[in-house]
Amino acid sequence: MVMTAFGNAPPEQRDEAAQTELEQLIARNADLVYRLAYAKSGCREDAEDIFQQVFLRFISRRPRFDSPEHERAWFLKVTANCTKSFWAAARRQKHEPLSDNAPAEEQPKSELAEALAQLPPDARVLIHLFYYEGLTAVEIAELLSRRASTVRMQLTRARRRLKEILADDFMEGDDLDEL
Amino acid sequence: MSFKDKYRAEMQNVRPGARLICATGQKMAAKKAAAGKTRRIRNSALAVACLALALGLPAVCQTGDADEPAAAGGAAPTQSRLYAPGPTNVRFDENKLRLPLPVETSHPVADRSLAADGRSLSLTAEELARSEVCAAYLPPTLPEDMRLAAATLYLPRASAQTPFAPGDSLLVRYTDGRFDYLTVRISPYTAADAPRLAEADRPETWDEALYDLPLSASIPADMWQQVTDPIFPAQDITAEIVQRLAGESDQNARYLRFGVKAGDMLLEYTAHTPDIAGLWQAISETPALQ
């Protein structure tokens, strides 16, 4: 549980305990949140912004978790929602043209990353939840408030598109029976 | 190597930096502290509001009358006052709320020191009856089934020594225990009441029924206070006027509201009753109106 009872402790101890709990909470969920944010945005800067939004939203909402699974599901769902709103806000912003001195991309992307970048952001989220987080189509549907059949269809399309991009390298034995 | 493995291997390298985690932790702690501060302020404000409500509640709840002007220090009635539960819903310890000294009958209404906190003072039937001046302004008989429900003395300026100074008032409420009531408010007549003074022989100054709807369009602005809330000199008020004020209605009970200027005092009547004749009899027998 995130917020444990230390109500009778002195204020200093309570502050310390609360700080420790926050650190533990971040440590438990940082990778989960950051990876999903990165999967959708494909950009570390955006992923960092979303990452902070998610954890600050935790402070605003102060959810109570019944189990570790509940906590994980909450962070996945909120991250998915934050990425959605982040992208909506980003689309509304005017983009300044890059100057000549703008830094180049830090690292060259892998072939897989290049292929994923060609997918729609929503499809990347599905791919991530399915292949990395190991959720089923039904669980993803529940998480994203969609119908399971819709999730299956979108996953199928995403895989088909990846197969076209990656050609021979694409997944042997990774058929959609798992869905 | 399957796509799944490739993807997992790819994403394993995607991790938040230590600086990001540290900065996020600091922001969370700051936001949590700010939220705690806001919550403490909100709780404090709530506690203060509860305390204020608890202190102000007796005057409101014992009268249960939203028509009465502000009881505590002349302040305007707030939403919490207007929606405070009525006397039938609230049970107070009378001994704790009632001020300890008995009412002084030598005072025109009551001993001002009893309401030294500038708030209201509830009077019992006996206390009310002991005050000769009060009895002078109240009807000796009542319409059928009417009984005294509450009598409350409002002394917003408790420091003043003049008895019944402007702003002071005594509100007496009679009820049949169901829907009908008669409320008499006794207060000093002031210059502010002058625009409401109607002329009995000119019905256009007090009979709303003579005007078309909407009244705001048909009643002349300079006569608005007279027509909508008239005051009659004691010698001018008649049974016919009261009957006309009550109007004609298919419903049993009539609602009427008017004032009577009796010397330096103003008696304001608000009634809801089918017995207009009994109402007039009660009013007309008031000693101060004889």
Q: Where are the alpha helices (DSSP H) in B13-124?
A: 18-63, 79-82, 94-97
Q: B32 with A22: CB under 8 angstroms?
A: yes
Among A125-139, A163-177, B25-39, B129-143, name the most confident range. Answer: A125-139
CB contact under 8 A, A59 and B32: yes
DSSP codes, A71-131? HHHHHHHHHHHHHHHHHHHHHHSPPPPPPTTPPPPSSPPPHHHHHHHTS-HHHHHHHIIII
Say if B32 is an interface residue toward chain A (CB within 8 Å).
yes
Q: Give the Cα separation of B143 and A131 in Å (integer).
A: 86
Show residues of chain B in contact with A26, CB under 8 Å.
21, 24-25, 28
pLDDT for B275 beyond 90: no
**Which secondary-structure segment (H or E) carries B174?**
strand B169-175
Q: B58 with B93: CB under 8 angstroms?
A: no
- How many Å lie between the alpha carbon of A63 and the closest alpha carbon of chain B? 13
Widest CA span in chain A: 63
Total residue count of chain B as it appears in this document: 290
CA B74 to chain centre: 11
Say if B38 is an interface residue toward chain A (CB within 8 Å).
no
* Mean model confidence pLDDT for chain A: 77
Q: A40 with A125: CB under 8 angstroms?
A: yes
Say if B10 is an interface residue toward chain A (CB within 8 Å).
yes
Residue B37: both structure tokens together: 């501060």
A1-94 fold: Rna Polymerase Sigma Factor; Chain: A (1.10.1740)
Which has more confidence, B250 or B285? B285
Q: What is the pLDDT of residue A14?
A: 57
Say if B7 is an interface residue toward chain A (CB within 8 Å).
yes
Show residues of chain B in contact with A75, CB under 8 Å.
none
CB contact under 8 A, A55 and B29: no
CB contact under 8 A, A31 and B4: no
Q: What is the pLDDT of residue B260?
A: 94
Q: What is the pLDDT of residue A76?
A: 92
Sign (positive or negative) of CA dihedral B45, B50, B51, B57 = positive
Show residues of chain B in contact with A127, CB under 8 Å.
7
Q: A25 with A31: CB under 8 angstroms?
A: no
pLDDT for B5 beyond 50: yes
Cα torsion for A69, A75, A76, A82, to the nearest 10°?
160
CB contact under 8 A, B31 and A56: yes
A108-179 fold: Arc Repressor Mutant, subunit A (1.10.10)
ipTM (interface pTM): 0.78
Q: What is the mean pLDDT of residues B103-130?
A: 59
SS3 B162: coil
Residue B97: both structure tokens together: 């709320």
Q: Which of B1, B8, B10, B14 to mutate to test the interface with A (most CBs of A within 10 A)?
A: B14
Q: What is the pLDDT of residue A113?
A: 84
CB contact under 8 A, B20 and A58: no
Q: What is the pLDDT of residues A23-81, one digit of tens each?
A: 888 888 899 999 999 998 888 888 899 999 999 988 888 888 888 888 888 999 999 88
Helices B239-246, B276-284: axis angle to 10 degrees equals 140
CB contact under 8 A, B28 and A58: yes
Q: A33 with A80: CB under 8 angstroms?
A: no
CB contact under 8 A, A172 and B24: no
CB contact under 8 A, A171 and B4: yes
Say if B31 is an interface residue toward chain A (CB within 8 Å).
yes
pLDDT confidence band for A95 (50 / 70 / 90): very low
SS3 B280: helix
SS3 B29: helix
Look at the block and give the residue holding tokens 């009660």. Answer: B282
Show residues of chain A in contact with B20, CB under 8 Å.
34, 48, 51-52
Q: A167 with A111: CB under 8 angstroms?
A: no
A positions 109-138 inside 8 Å of B (CB): 110, 112-113, 127-128, 131-132
Q: How many other CB atoms sit within 10 Å of the CB of residue A46?
A: 17
Q: What is the pLDDT of residues B43-94, one digit of tens each?
A: 666 666 666 666 554 433 333 333 333 333 334 434 333 333 333 333 334 4
Say if A52 is an interface residue toward chain B (CB within 8 Å).
yes
DSSP codes, B232-260? EETTT--HHHHHHHH---SSS-EEEEEEE
pLDDT for A116 beyond 70: yes
Q: What is the mean pLDDT of residues B155-167?
A: 60
> Domain residue spans in chain A?
1-94, 108-179
Say if A45 is an interface residue toward chain B (CB within 8 Å).
no
